[in-house]
Amino acid sequence: MRIALFGPFMFDLAAGLRGKTDHEVHLFLDESTLPVSLVHEPLIADPAFATVGRWATRPAILFPRQAAITRELAAYDISVVTELGPVFGKHTGHQYVFVPTGWDLINGPFPLRTARLRPRGRGDLSALLVARRLRSGIRGAAAIWAAPFRPFMDASRRLGVSLTASFAQPINTDLFSPPRKHNVADGPLTIFHPTRMLFDRSRWTLSSGQLKGNDVFLRGFADAIERGVDARLVLIERESSVDQEAGRSLLSDLGVSDRVTWLNAGTPAGFSWRELAELYQSADVVVDEFGGRTGWFGLVALEGAACGKPVMNQLDAAVMNALYPDGHPFVQVSDDCEVSDALVRLSDPQVRDVIGEASRDWIMHHHDRGVVATECVKRLKMIVSE
């Protein structure tokens, strides 16, 4: 089977397919959305594995049937696409699978929802064109692989499509792995919270799944310090952190600014994967996000767990029970009091070791990219044989 993949979040799946199967695999990446984490990956420089080009141009989106990426994808038996991939997948003449990452299913097809996030005029026209193409492409997919968290479910209902199956995010567990040496047990509890700051609880942030709820954690962090926990918090500065200054002000009001270190990658592209892995490994606890009772998780939770760290977040319990009936290792909190209690408990290194080992084992069982690749091939074979 010849498998094409398109989109910036397809790298680990493509690498897993290449490493764990005997199928021909090729990854297509658009240079305008190439993550900094991939720039120095050796596989990206291998022309037999990946091709980076200007695929998602305005003319290509306007005339996707004649687009160069459409012709490239058409040479394969099946495509697995994300982001703008469905726009081109529809015109390949073969079946394709859509794996949404967020914007491509929740916001991209509905331009009115994101009107306030872009300039008026030409930006609106571009958004309308992209939305029309995306809606058509998503509806034409042979399957949509996404976990049934509320933002995905709401968007799929609006489009009149169904989520075919959940799909585990593949993780490079060789890179994101436990540190070779444990941190010194008698040092301060180091907490890494790389999630961007967004805690404005507007209707849009809730319905789109954008809410991070960082203020819940910051208040709980301050309370834990008041209760005697010796802790330091590591945060990341980034342009997309719309409530970053509000977070600084809150930390100052809480009187814990001296316990906080803000890191800056020095470039809008952010930290590389290897730099992030080192930051996870140097921490004692990783903090994900708190999106309310319908919350979901992303790469922060998975990468932190893969590094053998306890991860704190708030998830939709019903969805998690359906996806992982044998349970999951994430430490669940819903308000600042529970955050504080959890940090007091995690200040015990033995507690952290037990949860961290369980987290690594869980990732290896469910999210290692080789495991995910094997499951992917089974599903693709079924689609191709239909």
Instruction: Give 89-127 pLDDT, tens digit per residue.
Output: 999 999 999 999 999 999 899 977 665 554 555 666 788
Asked whether this chain's domains 2-170+368-385 and 189-366 adopt the same fold, the reply is: yes
User: What value does the mean pLDDT of the chain take?
Assistant: 91
Give the H or E element holding residue 229: none
Look at residue 119 in the predicted model and tell me its pLDDT: 57
Look at residue 113 in the predicted model and tell me its pLDDT: 64
Q: For tokens 């998975």, what's the residue? A: 302
Q: Please say whether the beta carbons of 27 and 5 come within 8 A.
A: yes
Strands of the chain, DSSP E: 2-6, 24-30, 50-53, 78-81, 96-98, 143-144, 189-193, 231-236, 260-263, 285-290, 311-314, 331-332
In tens, the pLDDT along 36-60 reads: 778 778 899 999 999 999 999 999 9
The domain spans of the chain are: 2-170+368-385, 189-366
Q: Please say whether the beta carbons of 281 and 301 come within 8 A.
A: no
Is residue 386 very low, low, confident or very high in pLDDT (cuts 50, 70, 90)? confident
**Range in 13-27, 106-120, 368-382 with the lowest mean pLDDT:** 106-120
CATH assignment of 2-170+368-385? 3.40.50.2000
Distance (Å, whole) CA 50 – CA 27: 5
In tens, the pLDDT along 129-175 reads: 999 999 999 999 999 999 999 999 999 999 999 999 999 999 999 99
In tens, the pLDDT along 222-242 reads: 999 999 999 999 999 988 788
Counting Cα atoms < 13 Å in the Cβ hemisphere of 221 gives 31
CATH assignment of 189-366? 3.40.50.2000
Is residue 185 very low, low, confident or very high in pLDDT (cuts 50, 70, 90)? low
Q: Is the pLDDT of residue 309 over 90?
A: yes
What's the pTM?
0.92
Burial (CB count <10 Å: 0-12, 13-18, 19+), residue 179: middle
**Rounded alpha-carbon distances, angstroms, from residue 4 to 50, 105, 347:** 10, 20, 46
